[in-house]
Amino acid sequence: MGPFLVESVLSEAINLVETKTLVIDEELRLESGRLLGPLTLAYETYGTLNAERNNTILVAHAWTGDAHAAGFHSREDRKPGWWDDLIGPGRLLDTDRYHVICSNVIGSCKGSTGPASINPQTGRPYRLSFPILMVRDMVRAQKLLLDALDIPSLVTVIGGSMGAMQALEWGIHYPGMVRSIIPIAGTGRTSPMAIALNALARQAIYNDPLWKKGNYKPEHQPVSGFALARAVGHISFLSEESMAMKFGRRFTARDGLFDFFGQFEVERYLEYNGNNFPSRFDCNAFLYLAKALDLYDVAWNFSGLEEALERLTCPSLWFAFSSDWLYRPEQTEEVVEVLQGLGQPVEYHRIESDYGHDSFLVEPEKFTPYVGSFLERVWQRVQAETVAKEN
């Protein structure tokens, strides 16, 4: 049976969207050698696919992100999609020109197949029987989605953090389909420090007795361990400068300086965010995606970085942020320097920002002018090629 669509509805109002779901009744061979299928892929689209089917931009989300990149699901929603400022009519990713799509990665819990999904062979949730994923597997699943939607080419693939890794994988493994990539706050391979931070997060979850080796009930997640794991991750997204600006050394208003359980404002902030997170994300999905991040190495199954990057022939636009200590600018620059040495079309900007790894979400205005100019050049080439084919 071929792919079929479920709940594929877009509201008449341009800022009201509904998540669409694609079910692919086939198995995807993963980098581990295991097979995963059938697949469910959640995604949202914004704008209209043109007659030439050549105006699509793929937006790739970060670790705990989802397909809801722009608009509102209902008029009661308090917040729009996570990159709403950049997607829409007249915005950076202009939906009057582009057809924008954002897909939830496999391994997640936001509509795509993940460890909380039902294993068709057992009729029960996968939990820890779910196979280990790599970012490359996520991209292959996205390719199946675009094939099903009959989208033969992409103007660009853009994303931050784990989204940057996806963009790079797209450019390397589907060079005939991708016109350009825009990796933001990414890396070519995860550093030992980033792996160590994820190891701490894992141990926090493993040590929570409610985790039960992944066999917890959805309504009884290991909240204590999961909240601590999220706090560890959240610290890595910030920077010393941003913490000093936002919290300083202030105590919370209700706590006294000599109260043993009194908290600094930064402590209460981490506690609040950590405790809220389990209500909107699945713990096992968090662990599987963390493992995919740890395993990321663009040179996987290549002889080295140069062999991998020589396949990236399309123009690429890279951004790193000065205060990002999770994926430091030097890690981005390592990839850029190899591309430059290979003579590939690459552009790089190191952006001064005090907001750490989260800078790509907090201060987009610092890099979007470069993206706008870059996209205009890519789009002009796409149009020129279309005209040449018609003649």
Active site residue 66: no
Distance CA 320, CA 297 (A): 18
Please answer whether residues 38 and 22 qualify as being in contact, where contact means their C-beta atoms are separated by less than 8 angstroms: no
For residue 40, the cross-strand partners are 23
SS3 content of the chain, % helix, strand, coil (to 5): 40, 20, 45
Marked catalytic residue, from 354, 357, 358, 359 = 357
Marked catalytic residue, from 103, 112, 161, 236 = 161
Distance CA 249, CA 268 (A): 12
Strands 93-94 vs 124-125: parallel, antiparallel or unpaired: unpaired
Marked catalytic residue, from 324, 354, 358, 359 = 324
Distance CA 127, CA 363 (A): 37
Residue (of 184, 229, 63) closest to 133 by Cα position: 63
Phi (first) and psi of residue 231, to 5 degrees? -65, -40
Active site residue 357: yes
Active site residue 234: no
Distance CA 107, CA 133 (A): 7
Q: What token pair was written down for 143? A: 């390719």
Active site residues: 161, 324, 357
